[in-house]
Structure 1
Amino acid sequence: MRFQSLLLTAFLSCSFFAIAQVDSTEVKKDYGRIFGGFESNSQWYLNDKGRGIIQPEDPIRSNNYLFLNYQIKGWTAGVQVEAYEKNALLNYNPEFEGTDVATYFINYKTDKFDVTAGYFYEQFGNGMLLRAWEDRALGINTALRGGRIIYRPSDNVRLTALYGQQRTGFHVSDGKIFGFDSDFQLSQLLKLDKSDLSFGMSYVGRHEDIDPSIENPKFDEITHGISGRVNYSYNAFYSNFEYNYKSKDAVLNRISNTLDENLIKDGNAVSLNLGYSKQGLGIDATLRRTENMTFLSERVPTVSGDNTSLNFNDKVLNFTPALTKQHHSNLANIYVYQAQAGFDFKDPRILKVGETGGQIDLFYEFAKDTKFGGRYGTKVALNMASWYNLPGQYRLIPAEYETNFFGVGTKYFSDYNLEVKKQLSENWRTGFYYINQYYNK
C-alpha cells in the first residue's frame, strides 16, 4: 500500500513538472483535422423456389463507401472511394461497377465567400429545377463536377453561381450544366417584426449537342429553366409559392427511348404550401401541378438491358417528391405513389404529361386531464392526398396534347387515413389506424 502511495505521488509530481515546463505564451500550431467514415452494405442472395427466383451467379454483392476529409482553417478537401464488388447490390444502377474514386473536392470558405472545385451537391428552391444529391440506400448520386461560388454580401442576401457536368457512375454526363440562384431576406429591410418575408430567383441551363442525324432540328442545343419563389410567415402561419418553367425542347418517347422531333414542348411546375402551427395543433396543405418537367442532363437516357438510366434516377437534374403520407405500417406501403412529372404516352389508355393534386395534414393533441385527452393526452392525425392526370386533349399518333390548367383528369392515386394514438398508463400505449387507398396501376 505504501509503495502504491509513493508511486502515485511520484506520478503526480512528474505531471506537475511537465505542465510547469509549458510556456503559457506559446501558441499551439494548427495542423488541421481529418475526419471521414466507412459504410458497407452487403447481401447474400438465396434461391426462392416458391417464387421461382434463381440465385444470381455472384450471390454475394457489396456496396462500400470510404470518404475522408481534411480541414484546416477555411480550407476543406475531400475524396470518396466507392467499391461495388463483385457487383453492386441487385436493382442498383449498373454504372456502379468495380472500385474507383467516385467524388473529390476542395473548398474554401470565409464569411462572405464559399468556393468549391470538384464534385458538389446543390438545390435551387424546392428542387423542381435543380437538385444534386446523394442517397446511398436508394443508389442515387447526382453530384455535379465543376465549380460553384456562393457569395453572401450581407446576412440578407445569398447568391450562387455554378457550372459542371452531372455524375453518372464513375463518369460524368455529356451535357454541360450552368446555373445561378439568388435568395433575398426582406424582413429587416421592411422592418417586419412579427413576420418573415423572402424571395428567390433561379436559372439553370443545359447545353448538349444535337444528334447530327436530326436534320433541321426545331429545338436549341441549350434548354433554359427559370424559377421564382416567395416565402412568407406571420406568427404561427407560414406559406411558400414557387413557379418553375422549362423552355421548349424535343419530348422523349419513353417506349422507344428516342426524341420525338415533331413534338416540341415546354414544361412548367407550380406549387403552393400553406400551414399553421402552434402547440397542440398543426395544419399543412400543399398543392402542386407539373407538366412535362422531366429535366435530364442528357436528352436521351442510357439503355441497360430492359432498363434505362431513368429507372435508376441517373442523369436527372431535378427532383419531384411524392407528396403523400409516409406510413409506419409495411402493409400500407405496398403500393407507394411515385410522382408523375413527365411525358409518357404508352397506349391509348395511358396518355399522361404530368400530374395535379395535393395533400392536407392535420395534427391535433387533446390536452391532458380533459374529456378526450384523459390522464396522458390523445394525439390525432388526419391525412388526405389525391393525385390526377392533367385534364386536356390527347392524341397518340402522331403524339400531341393540349392541357387545361385547372381541373383534374384520370385519377392516379389517393390516400385518406386517420391515426389516433393514446397512452393508457405508464406502461401501455395504443394506436388506431384507418387507411383508405386507391392505386391506379
Structure 2
Amino acid sequence: MKKYILSLITVCSCLTFIAQEQNEELQISGNFQVLAQSYNEDSLIRADVPDELMTLNSFANIIARKGNFQAGLRYESYLPSQLGYPTNFKGSGIGYRFASYKDDGIAITVGNFYEQFGNGLTLRSFEDRNLGLENALDGVRVLIEPIKGLTVKGVYGKMRLDFDGRIINSEGFVRGLDGELSLNEAISGWEDKKTKITLGASFVSKFQADDRLDLNLPENVGNYSGRINVIHGNWRMMAEVAEKINDPSADNAFIFNKGIAILGNLTYSQKGFAISGDVKYIDNYSYRADRALQGIAPFINFMPALTKQHSYMLASQFYAYATQPTGEFAYMGEVSYKFKKDTPLGGKYGTQINLNYSRATGIEKNRTSTEAFLENGVTYESPLFSSNGEVYFSDFNAEIKKKFSKKVKTKFTYFNFIYNNTINQGAPLLTGKQVKGNVYADVFVAEANIKTKSKQNLRIVAQGLRTNQHQGDWVSLVMEYTISPHWNFALLDSYNFGNKIDENKLHYPLGSLAYSEGAHRLSFEYGKRRAGLFCVGGVCRVVPASNGLTLTLTSSF
C-alpha cells in the first residue's frame, strides 16, 4: 500500500509543480460511501448472522485534476463484506489508482481504468458497487483520433479478479484494439446528410498459461467483432456480430467449440409513440480472464439480458433473469404510446401506455460424431438463430401512467413471468433448496404519488404476486413520505400469505429514515429482508435473508 500512496503523492506533486508553472489551479474532488449493517438472529426467516454480528462495506474516491492531467485512487474496506456480497472482497487497501493525460487527438491512462468496446461483446471493464462487480483493467490505455471521425483505442493489462487488502489481478493478460468511424464526420459533404452511419470493429485477446496436464488448452484466445449504427430520421438500427475462438473453460465444461454472439436492435420513435425490437443469439460465449472461474466472477466481456429492468420488489427480486453464456436465443419488443390530452382516453393530462415482451430460450445443439470430437474437440453444432424450444425466461408487462390532477399521479402495471428455475437457480425455498421446473407468476402493481403540500409527497405502492409454484402468493405495501429537500420516511411490509407451509406464512416489515443535505445523505433501515435476487443488466447475485439495522452514508465533494 505504501508504494501506491507514494505514487499518488508523486503524481500530485507533479501536478502542483505544473500548476505553479502554468498559474492554474489544482482541483481536488471525490466521493465516499459507508454501508454498515448489524444482524439479528431470526430462525423464522432463516436469517444468516456472521460471527462478527456486523459487516462494513465502504470506499472513498479521491481525484486530482490539473489542466490535461488527472490522477486518483480509491480506498476500499470490507470488514467483513456485507452478507450476500461476493466473497472475493476482503480487507482494506487501495483498490483503484490511475494517472491520465489528455490533449487534442490523444488520451493516455496508466494504472487502473474502465473501458468498453462497442456494445461490450468483446470487452467491457466496469464496476457496480451494489452488485459487487469489479473488473477494472490494470495497465495502459491509449486513445487517439488520427483523422476527423475516427477514434482508435488500445488497451493492455491485467484484469482485477479479487481484493484482499490489495488488488489481486489475473495471472494472464488482456489486450485489445477498437476502432470506430463516423462516416458523416470523415467524408466531406456528409455532415448534413439525414442518414448517419457509424462503423466499428474490435479485437481482444487474452493470454493465460496452460496449467492442465490432461488437456492441450489454447493460451491465447482471440475475440473479434464488427458493428454498425445507422440513424435515419426517426429510425435507429444497431447490429454487432462477434466470434471467439475455442476457449475451453469451467463454464463450458472445457469443450473446444468456437463462440459466437449476435446483438441487434431496430427502433422507431416520434412524439407520443415509440416501437423497438431486439434480438440476441449467444453460443458458447463465456469469456473470462481466468478459465477456472464461474458464477458472478468477472467476465472480460458483457452479454446483456434482453429483458426490461424492473424496479418494483415483487417483479425484480423474485424472478429476474441472468444471461446464459453457454447458449441462448432471446428477443424483446416494446411499444409505447401516449394518448393526447383532451381526448376520451387521454383525459385532461394525457395517458401513457407501455407494452413490453421478452423471451429467452435454449439453442439447438446437435451432437457431433465421435470422430469429429476426437479430431477437433467440437462436441456439437448449432444452426444460427436456432431454438430448442425450452423456455428459460419470459416476461410480458403492461404499464399505464395516468395523471388525474396536478397533485395526483398514478401508475398501474401487470407482469406475467415464466421462470425456468432448473436453468436459472434463482428461486429457492426458505430451506435454501431450489424448486425444479418452471415457475409461472403474475404480478400486479398500483402506485400513486400524491402531492400533499408544497415540496411534500406521499408515495403508495401496493403489489401482489400470484403463483402456484415456489413460495406461493405474496402481497406488499410501501408507504413513503418525502419532505424535500431533506427528509424521507418509508414503511414496507411484504407478506407471504400463500405459502403452502403455514409456519412459512411470514411478514417482512421494514422501516427507513433518510436525511439529505446537498451532496450528503444519511439513511437508516431496520427490519427484515427475504432471501432473493439482486440483478443489474443480466448479472445476478443471491442475497440471503436478514434481520437487522443498516446505516448508509454517502457524500461527494
Contact 2:237 2:266 in 1 (8 A): yes
Contact 1:335 1:439 in 2 (8 A): yes
Residue number among 325, 332, 335 corresponding to 1:362 in the alignment: 335
Aligned to 1:173: 170
How many Å separate the matches in 2 of 1:418 and 1:136? Answer: 31
Contact 2:394 2:417 in 1 (8 A): yes
- Could you say what secondary structure the match of 2:178 adopts? strand
Alpha carbons of 1:68 and 1:341: their partners in 2 closer, same or farther (altered >3 Å)? same
- TM-score normalised according to structure 2 size: 0.67
Aligned to 1:414: 394
Aligned to 1:199: 199
Contact 2:183 2:196 in 1 (8 A): yes
Shift of 1:332: 1.6
Q: Structure 1: which amino acid aligns with 2:381?
A: E
- Stretches of structure 1 that go unaligned for 5 or more consecutive residues are 1-26, 302-309, 343-353
How many Å separate the matches in 1 of 2:337 and 2:391? Answer: 29
Please show how residues 321-332 of structure 1 align to structure 2 within 5 Å: 321-332=304-315
Please show how residues 60-209 of structure 1 align to structure 2 within 5 Å: 60-85=54-79, 87-168=80-161, 169=163, 170-188=167-185, 189=187, 191=190, 193-209=193-209
Aligned to 1:273: 265
Q: Structure 2: which amino acid aligns with 1:368?
A: K
How many Å separate the matches in 2 of 1:286 and 1:238? Answer: 12
- Could you say what secondary structure the match of 1:249 adopts? coil
Q: Structure 2: which amino acid aligns with 1:439?
A: Y
Aligned to 1:38: 32
How many Å separate the matches in 2 of 1:35 and 1:52? Answer: 43
Alpha carbons of 1:250 and 1:28: their partners in 2 closer, same or farther (altered >3 Å)? closer
Aligned to 2:302: 319
Please show how residues 16-55 of structure 1 align to structure 2 within 5 Å: 29-55=23-49
Contact 2:249 2:292 in 1 (8 A): no
> Segments of 4+ in structure 1 off by > 6 A?
none
**Are 1:400 and 2:393 matched, yes or no?**
no
How many Å separate the matches in 2 of 1:327 and 1:250? Answer: 34
How many Å separate the matches in 2 of 1:400 and 1:251? Answer: 14
Contact 2:257 2:379 in 1 (8 A): no
Shift of 1:103: 1.1
Contact 1:280 1:364 in 2 (8 A): yes
How many Å separate the matches in 1 of 2:25 and 2:417? Answer: 58
How many Å separate the matches in 2 of 1:383 and 1:53? Answer: 35
Alpha carbons of 1:243 and 1:72: their partners in 2 closer, same or farther (altered >3 Å)? same
How many Å separate the matches in 2 of 1:277 and 1:322? Answer: 22
Shift of 1:54: 4.6
Q: Structure 1: which amino acid aligns with 2:214?
A: I
Shift of 1:394: 4.8
Shift of 1:242: 0.3
Contact 2:339 2:345 in 1 (8 A): yes
Between 1 and 2, higher relative CO (CA 8 Å, sep ≥ 6) is seen in 2
Contact 1:250 1:264 in 2 (8 A): yes
Aligned to 1:11: none
Alpha carbons of 1:424 and 1:28: their partners in 2 closer, same or farther (altered >3 Å)? same
Q: Deviations over 1:93-115 (max 9, x none)?
A: 22211111111111000011100
Shift of 1:253: 5.4
Shift of 1:412: 0.7
Alpha carbons of 1:427 and 1:159: their partners in 2 closer, same or farther (altered >3 Å)? same
Aligned to 1:23: none
**Are 1:391 and 2:364 matched, yes or no?**
yes
Q: Deviations over 1:267-304 (max 9, x none)?
A: 00011100011111111111010111100001112xxx
How many Å separate the matches in 1 of 2:274 and 2:251? Answer: 43
Contact 2:306 2:330 in 1 (8 A): no
- In percent, how many aligned pairs have the same letter? 31
- Could you say what secondary structure the match of 2:348 adopts? coil
Shift of 1:30: 1.5
How many Å separate the matches in 1 of 2:49 and 2:83? Answer: 11
Alpha carbons of 1:312 and 1:42: their partners in 2 closer, same or farther (altered >3 Å)? farther
- Could you say what secondary structure the match of 1:252 adopts? coil
Larger Rg computed on CA atoms? 1
How many Å separate the matches in 1 of 2:134 and 2:46? Answer: 32
- Could you say what secondary structure the match of 2:341 adopts? coil
Shift of 1:320: 1.3
Contact 1:177 1:206 in 2 (8 A): yes
Shift of 1:433: 2.1
